[in-house]
Structure 1
Amino acid sequence: MRNRSCARPTMPCGRWTGGAWTCSPSDHFWYGKRAKIRIPQPEPRYLPGWEKLTAPAPERPLKVLVVSHLWPRPDFPHLGIFVVDQVKALSHWCRVAVAAPVDRTIRREEISLREFRRGLVRYRRRTRPHLLEAAGMRPLEVSYVARLPRGLFALNAARALAARLRRLDPHQFDVVHAHTVFPDGLACALWLKDTKVPLVVTAHGSDVHSMRPGMRRAMPRLLRRVNLLIPVSQALGVELCALGADPERVTVIPNGFSARLFDLQEPPPRDPRKIAYLGYLRGIKRVNLLIEALAHCPADVTLEVAGLGPDRPALEAQAAKLGLQDRVRFLGLLTRDRVPGFLAGAGIMALVSEREGWPTVIFESLACGTPVLATAVGGVPEALADSSLGRLIPRDITPSDLGREIQEALDTPWDYAAIRRHALNFSWEAISGKILQEYYRVMGLPVPGKLA
């Protein structure tokens, strides 16, 4: 069909050769009676040092592409740290590359009139995030810009990201593993829809709990293409099945923690009257409820808050208003090497969030031998299924009742060594083997003996 004149062009298409427009079916498509120009797409490229697969998988290490917009950045160095730890653990078994989508869509509330006049391109360049090197690798940035019509942003964002991912040849990978259902999972489903490359999607909780109507309407596109859905908890798996997922394609694998990082040879002295909180400071975490409950606790009980977030000024003002400024300490963002000592030095770790998926901080705390007091939401009841690991509280608990729960938890004689032994079952070193078994299963290959 090359070099054949277009049969019914109402506008030029293709290439100018010898005084006439010539085209091929790949140069245009039809919209009713009007031919539209198709912008030529560049040839899909390979990552440096990667090539198209030739040898069968059993004769070489698997090649895996991890797609995750959750990746550390200078302004948020702990973003997606569980993805980083998983990539690091998988790298011991297979070859892993990371593609990090970056949403550069400009919302109306994010740009001033002056910045708009200066130019959107300059604004995007100036506000472009710098992805940090982690797990021994620097991710490939895949930036995209989506249109913003009401109700269609979810699908348009996935389409825009899929268009950028098409610049990569998917046949250089054995498996593509996307983290979060939206936008990463849906975009990968659109990218791989005409290929046989297996697609694995991990749902972490917030991507399902906060799903808007537009995302729900786009879910069938993902479910038709995905080979395996990995929810991090049983409760999340039930939600995915309610959205239409095939139970045969759903396997629960929780997030883990870095056992090597939390292996404290000389743990700090434990203060049995101290409460620790580690996480982002925003409304859904309800740190304000924790501070208000502290007013109902004895005067020797203290609270240490580690983390950053937009609610910190309001929380500091609340502590001062309640006269608790001497009992509440805000430590700011802790480096990763300081986190084990921070958790190991507390009597309990409190997490009173309104909504959670599978909070990694629970097992990081248990790995330090510190029991956990947490609301019974999401996968938390599964993580604290044994009462010897901590206490569960209802989501609608009042500050006074929470104060009593804190006091009872601090007065309980916990077996710190047994708590740590239980946590080791959820290290990334143990969980990465389960993920690799699923990779081989979706590829239709036998699991190697070292993983079985």
Structure 2
Amino acid sequence: MSQYVSRLQRRSQAAPHRLRLHRRPRRVAMLSVHTSPLHQPGTGDAGGMNVYIVELAQRLAAINIEVEIFTRATTGGLPPTVDMAPGVLVRHIDAGPYEGLNKEDLPAQLCAFTHGVMQAWAGHRPGYYDLVHSHYWLSGHVGWLAAQRWGTPLVHAMHTMAKVKNANLADGDTPEPAARVIGETQIVAAADRLIANTAEEREELVQHYAADPGKVAVVHPGVNLDRFRPADGRAAARARLGLPQDALIPLFAGRIQPLKAPDILLRAVAVLLDQRPDLRSRILVPVVGGLSGSGLAKPEGLQKLASRLGIADVVRFQPPVGQEQLADWFRAASVLVMPSYSESFGLVAIEAQAAGTPVLAAAVGGLPVAVADRRTGFLVRGHDPAAYARVLGDFADDPALTPRMGEAAARHAQSFGWDTAAAATADVYAAAAQSYRRHVRSHHG
């Protein structure tokens, strides 16, 4: 080992640039236990993280880092591997019954999942994977074991954190269990590098989980700027979706669960129509998304709320749609409304802005990074429906507000391309590999 180390040191002094390139991993094992990159975002537990993994993997492959994504098989008869894109392979691992497992049931299946990952690895030569990148705490546990077993660095992305979610719970939402808090704390200690979406998330990792600040890198998620763009404009998108041309259309798009607070939008619309009944004939509120998490306990909850508030006639519930059609919903909207209680980043906010639509959001988590307040949208402190109603009233009164802010929003979103995010992630990989080698060196020195 020490001969290898001194050879490395000699090489690093001789050719720092070549070594830096050499340090980039060639092949990464990416772990996504509870949600498959092949699933439709907006259904079940599939959301922003799915989009994140798909886009990141493809852009990493484009800069010559091969990615293999390990995910749990959720239906029978799936092929063991699927080529998702050039340089990106999805591996389906059998762990537990295919159907009917909630995210909460998955910790019990982590042993089986880890076994499947190890079986896949056993068929390869030693050193086949250069690095493990795990997403969300469930994957982090598998990643921790895999990285130890394979002798590779571990990079982990939390996406959401139990302590942060529990500090910002919606009324009647279920707190995250203690087992998750313990699990997250262990992963933070074990990872060579942690990727945070925003500087605020970095602070939360340090404050709540005692993360070493030197190990936490901030990488803003990206947006697919080819797909989410203003295209042929609002009028054309409304025509395609069969929406009225002159209506005020505040849109909710995302998973229907208390955390995302679609009820706040409905309550805000009820307040607005109470104050201004004349708006009823020209407002339409689409809710695009599927039930998820604790929202599954009350599948009809939002429809019943719309009826109770007396606004069922202006609310339109839409099942989750593919990314192309989602871009059209964003283009068609007057404003995207995101009253979430907690968001690690709020990818949907960037997607809507890239499509040329302003955003009205809660000032939580990463949303103040995603939305430039009063320039590309409005940030509201707290969850008082009346505060959201006031902003919706501004959009109703000033028809030029949507196109004016929408233009600024599209420009703002340009700085969030996935190529930038992939290059920054590759740099984190290189730093993780370097500190991992230093760590190994100090233990075998």
Distance 1:203 1:174, change over 3 A: same
Aligned to 1:20: none
Q: Which has the larger radius of gyration?
A: 1
Aligned to 1:295: 270
Aligned to 2:381: 394
Q: Is the CA contact 1:278–1:361 (under 8 Å) kept in the aligned structure 2?
A: yes
Aligned to 1:339: 326
Aligned to 2:417: 427
Q: Equivalents in 2 of 1:129, 1:316: separation in Å?
A: 38
Distance 1:159 1:77, change over 3 A: closer
Q: What is the correspondence of 1:99-248 to structure 2 with a 5 Å cutoff?
A: 99-102=69-72, 134-135=84-85, 137=88, 139-145=90-96, 158-167=110-119, 168=121, 171-180=127-136, 182-206=137-161, 209-210=164-165, 212-219=177-184, 221-242=186-207, 243-248=209-214
Query: Counterpart of 2:31 in structure 1: which amino acid?
Result: V
Q: Is the CA contact 2:222–2:421 (under 8 Å) kept in the aligned structure 1?
A: yes
Q: Which structure has more RCO (C-alpha within 8 Å, separation ≥ 6)? A: 2
Aligned to 2:243: none
Choose the corresponding residue for 1:95, options 56, 65, 68. Answer: 65
Answering whether residue 316 of structure 2 is matched by residue 316 of structure 1, we say: no
Aligned to 2:222: 256
Q: Equivalents in 2 of 1:268, 1:327: separation in Å?
A: 20
Q: Is the CA contact 1:66–1:176 (under 8 Å) kept in the aligned structure 2?
A: yes
Q: Is the CA contact 2:70–2:92 (under 8 Å) kept in the aligned structure 1?
A: yes
Report the 3-state secondary structure (helix = DSSP H, G, I; strand = E; otherwise coil) of the residue aligned with 2:249.
strand
Q: Is the CA contact 2:223–2:350 (under 8 Å) kept in the aligned structure 1?
A: yes
Cα drift, residue 237 of structure 1: 1.5
User: Residue deviations 1:209-231, cap 9 Å, x none?
Assistant: 45532233344542343111001
Considering only aligned residues, what root-mean-square deviation do their CA atoms show, in Å? 3.3
Report the 3-state secondary structure (helix = DSSP H, G, I; strand = E; otherwise coil) of the residue aligned with 2:422.
helix
Q: Equivalents in 1 of 2:81, 2:270: separation in Å?
A: 41
Q: Equivalents in 1 of 2:393, 2:334: separation in Å?
A: 11
265-274 vs 191-200, which deviates more?
Answer: 265-274
Aligned to 1:436: 426
Q: Equivalents in 2 of 1:77, 1:239: separation in Å?
A: 23
Q: Equivalents in 2 of 1:171, 1:336: separation in Å?
A: 36
Distance 1:411 1:78, change over 3 A: farther
Cα drift, residue 92 of structure 1: 0.5
Cα drift, residue 82 of structure 1: 2.0
Q: Is the CA contact 2:229–2:410 (under 8 Å) kept in the aligned structure 1?
A: no
TM-score, scaled relative to structure 1: 0.71
User: Residue deviations 1:101-153, cap 9 Å, x none?
Assistant: 3288xxxxxxxxxxxxxxxxxxxx8699999874465511223359xxxxx99
Number of residue-to-residue matches in the alignment:
364
Query: Counterpart of 1:68 in structure 2: which amino acid?
Result: S
Q: Is the CA contact 2:82–2:91 (under 8 Å) kept in the aligned structure 1?
A: no
User: Residue deviations 1:178-207, cap 9 Å, x none?
Assistant: 111x11112211222255412111121256
Query: Counterpart of 1:215 in structure 2: which amino acid?
Result: R
Query: Counterpart of 1:295 in structure 2: which amino acid?
Result: A
Q: Which has the higher helix share?
A: 2
Identity %: 22
Report the 3-state secondary structure (helix = DSSP H, G, I; strand = E; otherwise coil) of the residue aligned with 1:323.
coil
Q: Equivalents in 2 of 1:131, 1:363: separation in Å?
A: 32
Q: What is the correspondence of 1:401-416 to structure 2 with a 5 Å cutoff?
A: 401-411=387-397, 413=401, 414-416=404-406
What are the ranges of 5 or more consecutive residues in structure 1 without an aligned counterpart?
1-54, 105-124, 147-151, 446-452
Distance 1:366 1:231, change over 3 A: same
Aligned to 1:365: 352
Aligned to 2:408: 418
Q: Is the CA contact 2:192–2:432 (under 8 Å) kept in the aligned structure 1?
A: yes
Aligned to 2:11: none
TM-score, scaled relative to structure 2: 0.72
214-223 vs 285-294, which deviates more?
Answer: 214-223
Aligned to 1:121: none
Cα drift, residue 77 of structure 1: 9.7
Query: Counterpart of 2:269 in structure 1: which amino acid?
Result: L
Distance 1:219 1:65, change over 3 A: same
